Amino acid sequence: MSTKGYAHPELLAETDWLAEHMSDANIRIVDCDLPDAYLRAHIPGAVNMGENHYVKDPDNSVYVMPPDKVAEFMGKLGIGDDTLVVAYEGHNAPWAARLWWVLNYYGHTNVKVLNGGVRKWMAEGRPVTAVVPSVEPRRFSPRINPSLIISGERLKAAIGRDGTVIWDVRSLEEHTGENTRGNKNTGHVPGACHLEWIDMVEPDGTGAFKPAEEMRAMLEEKGITPEKQVYTY
């Protein structure tokens, strides 16, 4: 596995690592693409997230799925409290990263994002299938980690605070208010810096994250440094 100088390389799985470990007894590979793409071809043994690939509350899509519903959702995917989850997709990782965050928010830190996703996997000639595996439900016990989320009121209080950075990861047009995406309020949080999330991904079509040194330089240019408290949206 290539660490590329990342501070926490264990958060990523490289394709060669997954190829060696995909048959391990306690691993669950999760395809975060929409079902039609999954049914065409996916990594052998992978289960699919379904339509709700942001794991949002079906009763209020503004929020993440609540504990009782997320326990059922993850359990049906075959994710138990001791399962190693490897999340992937074919769209530069926003949905896989979302699953990573949801699992961590609910106390399940044993999760990795496949670097490059299914595009890199297929480009390397690795096996894919259309076979949907049979999955035995597991017990998933949500344990909320409140440090991984911030309320609107707390974020307002953090504006302008020393040692704090508010990072807007949306498109430039959303940041400036040119693209409303149907929202009544447009623009950005006062004082927020802008660096779109897609800038963290290689532009060569592999879907892999950029090397650590390149990412670090981009972040430092925006004032996003390790000693600061960073809030993202």
Cα–Cα dist 178/220, whole Å: 26
Query: Which residue do the tokens 């138990």 mark?
Result: 80
Helix (H) or strand (E) holding 40: helix 35-40
pLDDT tens digits along 70-90: 999 999 999 999 999 999 999
Fold of 9-145: Oxidized Rhodanese; domain 1 (3.40.250)
Mean pLDDT in residue range 91-102: 95
- Structure tokens, 83: 């399962």
CB 78 within 8 A of CB 28: yes
Residue 3: the pLDDT is 60
* Domain segments of the chain as ranges: 9-145, 150-232
24: pLDDT strictly greater than 80: yes
pLDDT tens digits along 127-179: 999 999 999 999 999 999 999 999 999 999 999 999 999 999 999 999 999 99
What is the assigned CATH class of domain 150-232? alpha beta
Residue 1: the pLDDT is 43
